């Protein structure tokens, strides 16, 4: 049973990614070669997002399919980025499978 103020469901899995400009993005969804990221800045459709997984150092490149702001205007910017993995390594695929597999 959850304490007062605690959510009943477990937190969603995510992988933290380091972007070249020093920002951190979160990979919050994965299905086949499609991924969803949350980042502090927007990326235009067709642009590559080049990063690496923080703890494992695995390279990640995502071709942006769509990007939209998800934070209210009064808060710090937060953008939901939908895209496709570009040339994922076997190690990255295994990490994504183990992080996002359901039950």
Tell me which CATH code domain 15-91 carries.
2.40.10.220
pLDDT at 46: 97
Angle CA 8–12–18, to nearest 5: 145
pLDDT at 40: 95
pTM of the predicted protein model: 0.83
For the chain, which residues make up each domain, given as ranges? 15-91
Q: pLDDT tens for the chain, 103 residues: list them.
A: 444 555 555 567 899 999 999 999 999 999 989 999 999 999 999 999 999 999 899 999 999 999 999 988 888 899 999 999 999 999 999 999 999 886 5
pLDDT at 102: 63
Cβ-based neighbours of 40, under 8 Å, separated by 6 or more: 23, 25, 76, 77, 78, 79
Tokens of 91: 């190690």
Q: Which residue has the tokens 């150092």?
A: 57
């Amino acid at each position: 049973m959850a304490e007062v103020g605690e959510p009943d469901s477990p937190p969603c899995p995510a992988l933290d990614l380091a972007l070249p400009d020093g920002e951190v993005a979160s990979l919050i969804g994965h299905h086949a070669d499609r991924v969803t990221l949350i980042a502090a800045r927007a990326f235009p459709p067709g642009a590559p997002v080049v990063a690496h997984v923080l703890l494992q150092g695995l390279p990640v490149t995502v071709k942006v399919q769509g990007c939209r702001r998800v934070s209210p205007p009064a808060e710090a910017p937060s953008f939901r980025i939908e895209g496709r993995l570009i040339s994922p390594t076997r190690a990255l695929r295994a990490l994504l499978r183990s992080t996002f597999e359901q039950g």
